[in-house]
Amino acid sequence: MASSSSSAAAAAASVACSSPPSSILIIGSGVFGLSTALALARRDAFAHCSITVVDRSDPSQPGAFPSPDAASIDASRIVRADYADKAYAALCNEAQAEWRRQASPADLGARGRYNETGLILVGDAEPPAPAADQADQEADLKPKLTGLDYARKSWANVQSLAAKDPELAARIRELPNPDAIRDALGTGGSSGAWGYVNYNSGWANAAASMSWYLDRVRETGRVALVAGTVVSLEHTGDAVTGAKLADGRVLSADLVIVAAGAWTGALVDLAGQAIATGQVLAYVDLTEEEHEELANMPVILNVSTGLFVMPPVNRTLKIAKHFLGYINPVQPAHPPLPLTPRSPPPTTPTPPPPPVSLPRTSLTDPTLSIPPSAAADLRRALREMVPWPALRDRPFAKTRLCWYSDTPTADFIIDHHPNWRGLFVATGDSGHAFKFLPVIGDKIVDRILREGPAEFEGKWDWKAKTEALPTRFTQDGSRGVSEAGLVLSDVLEKEEGEEEEA
Ligand SMILES: Cc1cc2nc3c(=O)[nH]c(=O)nc-3n(C[C@H](O)[C@H](O)[C@H](O)COP(=O)(O)OP(=O)(O)OC[C@H]3O[C@@H](n4cnc5c(N)ncnc54)[C@H](O)[C@@H]3O)c2cc1C
Ligand SMILES: *[C@@H]1O[C@H](CO)[C@@H](O)[C@H](O)[C@H]1NC(C)=O
Ligand SMILES: *[C@@H]1O[C@H](CO)[C@@H](O)[C@H](O)[C@H]1NC(C)=O
Ligand SMILES: *[C@@H]1O[C@H](CO)[C@@H](O)[C@H](O)[C@H]1NC(C)=O
Ligand 4, atom 8: nearest CA belongs to which residue? 192
Q: Is the pLDDT of residue 17 over 70?
A: no
Cα of 31 from ligand 3 centre, angstroms: 23
Q: Which residue in 77, 463, 136, 8 sits closest to 299, CA to CA? A: 77
Pure H helices in 372-485:
372-385, 389-392, 437-448
pLDDT band at 10; cut points 50, 70, 90: very low
Cα of 216 from ligand 2 centre, angstroms: 20
pLDDT band at 5; cut points 50, 70, 90: very low
pLDDT above 70 coverage of the chain, percent: 87
Q: Is the pLDDT of residue 78 over 70?
A: yes
- Residue 312 and residue 291 in contact, taking contact as beta carbons nearer than 8 Å: yes
Higher pLDDT, 276 or 470: 276
The C-alpha torsion from 246 through 252 and 258 to 264, rounded to 10°, is: 30
Q: Is the bond leading into 387 cis (omega within 30 degrees of zero)?
A: no
CB-based contacts of 306, cutoff 8 Å, min separation 6: 147, 321, 322, 323, 478, 479, 480, 482
pLDDT of residue 307: 96
CB-based contacts of 156, cutoff 8 Å, min separation 6: none
The separation between the first and the last C-alpha atoms of the chain, rounded to the nearest angstrom, is 59
pLDDT band at 32; cut points 50, 70, 90: very high
Using a 6 Å cutoff on CB, does residue 75 contact ligand 1? no
> What whole-number distance in Å separates Cα of residue 174 and Cα of residue 187?
18
> What whole-number distance in Å separates Cα of residue 449 and Cα of residue 17?
6
**pLDDT digit string (tens) for 202-246?**
999 999 999 999 999 999 999 999 999 999 999 999 999 999 999
Give the ligand at the shortest distance from the Cα of 181. Answer: 4
Least confident of 38-42, 164-168, 453-457: 164-168
Which residues on adjacent β-strands are paired with residue 123?
Answer: 194
Ligand 2, atom 13: nearest CA belongs to which residue? 75
Cα of 402 from ligand 1 centre, angstroms: 8
Measure CA 313 to chain center: 20
Cα of 31 from ligand 1 centre, angstroms: 7
Read off the pLDDT of each residue in 252-279 and give the average, rounded to a whole number: 96
Read off the pLDDT of each residue in 257-270 and give the average, rounded to a whole number: 97
Find the radius of gyration of the CA atoms of the chain: 22
pLDDT of residue 155: 86
Ligand 4, atom 12: nearest CA belongs to which residue? 381
Cα of 29 from ligand 2 centre, angstroms: 21
Ligand 2, atom 1: nearest CA belongs to which residue? 314
Using a 6 Å cutoff on CB, does residue 27 contact ligand 1? yes
Ligand 4, atom 11: nearest CA belongs to which residue? 191
Q: Is the pLDDT of residue 143 over 70?
A: no
Read off the pLDDT of each residue in 132-145 and give the average, rounded to a whole number: 43
Using a 6 Å cutoff on CB, does residue 316 contact ligand 3? no
> What whole-number distance in Å separates Cα of residue 76 and Cα of residue 156?
26
Q: Is the pLDDT of residue 464 over 70?
A: yes
Cα of 305 from ligand 4 centre, angstroms: 6
Which residues on adjacent β-strands are paired with residue 54?
Answer: 27, 226
Mean pLDDT of the chain: 88
Q: Is the pLDDT of residue 136 over 50?
A: no
Using a 6 Å cutoff on CB, does residue 102 contact ligand 3? yes
pLDDT of residue 134: 39
C-alpha distances (whole Å) from 183 to each of 56, 179, 189, 385 are 45, 6, 9, 12
Read off the pLDDT of each residue in 81-88 and give the average, rounded to a whole number: 84
Q: Is the pLDDT of residue 346 over 90?
A: no
Which atom of ligand 1 has the smallest separation from the CA of 28?
34
Cα of 302 from ligand 4 centre, angstroms: 6
pLDDT of residue 456: 97
Measure CA 493 to chain center: 27
Q: Is the pLDDT of residue 272 over 60?
A: yes
Strand extents, DSSP E, 359-421: 398-406, 413-416
DSSP secondary structure, 42-78, as one string: H-GGGTT-EEEEEE--BTTBTT-SS-TTSTT-SSEEE
Read off the pLDDT of each residue in 275-294 and give the average, rounded to a whole number: 97
Q: Which residue in 98, 97, 150 sits closest to 127, CA to CA? A: 150
Using a 6 Å cutoff on CB, does residue 20 contact ligand 1? no
